[in-house]
Chains A and B, each alone.
Chain A
Amino acid sequence: MDELALLHGYQTVGAMLVGIGIVGFLARRNMIVMFLSLEMMLQGISVTLVSWSRFHNDWGGQVLTVFIITVAACEAAIALALVLMLFRRAGGLDVLFWQQLRESNVEPFIEHELPEPPAEPADRWPHLPPAGIEPQTEEEWHRSHV
């Protein structure tokens, strides 16, 4: 296999993963999606490291990736606990709930135009087709005798 071309392809894929992760981290407001983007950037780095490891015929890159996985696991545990706690306090996952952590000289961001909440789909109750013959019961007629 052409090692140079392989390395090139992997580096490009890693760079793209990092870039897409950056877009997600910058653009999304849901804290959990932001963390997913962060993990995606780590994955991009892992891809690069593994391909370098192969190119240099050395285990260092793969070992480093093992550590990336470890760190990611730790980070996820902490992040999960934090996100859950922040969710409980603020009642939502929006990062804007925590903008009081900004610098003192920065203006607060105020959302002016919130999108309408999407309409709940109307409940569709099942309509049962008639099955068989409609029973013609005369319950009252029987019962009145008791």
Chain B
Amino acid sequence: MRADDPAIRWIEEPKLGLSGKMYLPLIFQGLTTTARHLVGPKRTVSFPEQRPNIADPLIYRGVHRLNRDQEGRVKCVACFLCATACPAHCIDIVAAESPWPDREKYPEHFVIDELRCIFCGMCEEACPVDAIELTSLFDLTGRTREEMFFDKEKLLSVFDQTKDAEPPKSAGLPPLQRPEEEHHS
């Protein structure tokens, strides 16, 4: 588009007054704002001594966990929906025949690469049985890359750690009832 195209609508800047054109009064106005913030209250949290106050753990997206059902088994049914939804491709599931009667499959291995994870929460959204959830634990560290591959046991242990502070987000729902007969007929 040429600069003199009539279709261009030029938006003019607001005109400055005399004090604005002289700049100096505005500079002092700005300096007072700066000085006010200089002595004002600080918002930094001194982390190791002082834990940040996470307002709503339900919204916060930290480390993953794998929920257990009432009998202490892993809730996951190895449907791969989370792995499919994951934009970072960080979930790796190996499914196996379920030893329990109420579902077909269960995850034999369930590994999340926390270094690749972008903590978007899509897995949590995708999970049909609310097995995978994001907790409000944010300070995850590791000394090696391998340490940051969280496997099923680790994810379940995260659940054990956090289940009291943060009950499963859909604790009230009953475990998925699968009408096996219909399926087989």
Within the complex, are A and B direct neighbours (CB within 8 Å)? Answer: yes
Q: Which A positions have Cβ atoms within 8 angstroms of B?
A: 132-133, 137, 139, 142-143, 145-146
**CB neighbours of A145 from chain B (8 A):** 80, 83-84
Give per-residue flags for B144-167: 1 if the beta carbon is below 8 A from chain A beta carbons, else 0: 010000000000000000000000
Asked if B89 and A137 sit within 8 Å, CB to CB, the answer is yes
Asked if B145 and A132 sit within 8 Å, CB to CB, the answer is yes
**Interface SS of chain B: helix, strand, loop or mixed?**
loop
**CB neighbours of A137 from chain B (8 A):** 89
**CB neighbours of B83 from chain A (8 A):** 142, 145
Q: What's the Cα separation between A143 and B88 when bound, in Å?
A: 10
Other A-B contacts than A133-B145, A139-B89, A145-B83, 4 sampled, CB-CB below 8 A, are: A132-B145, A142-B89, A145-B80, A145-B84
Q: What's the Cα separation between A137 and B89 when bound, in Å?
A: 9
Q: What's the Cα separation between A146 and B126 when bound, in Å?
A: 13
What's the least CB distance linking B66 to chain A, in Å? 19
What's the least CB distance linking B105 to chain A, in Å? 15
Residue of B nearest to A141 (CB): B89
For chain B, the count of residues having a C-beta within 8 Å of the partner chain is 6
**CB neighbours of B84 from chain A (8 A):** 142, 145-146
**CB neighbours of A146 from chain B (8 A):** 84
**8 A-B contact pairs sorted by A residue (CB < 8 Å):** A133-B145, A137-B89, A142-B83, A142-B84, A145-B80, A145-B83, A145-B84, A146-B84
Residue of A nearest to B90 (CB): A142
Q: What's the Cα separation between A27 and B145 when bound, in Å?
A: 66
**CB neighbours of A133 from chain B (8 A):** 145
Q: What's the Cα separation between A5 and B33 when bound, in Å?
A: 66
Residue of B83, B89, B145 ringed by the most chain A CB atoms within 10 A: B89
**CB neighbours of B89 from chain A (8 A):** 137, 139, 142-143
Which residues 80-109 in B have Cβ within 8 Å of A in the complex? 80, 83-84, 86, 89
Q: What's the Cα separation between A142 and B91 when bound, in Å?
A: 9
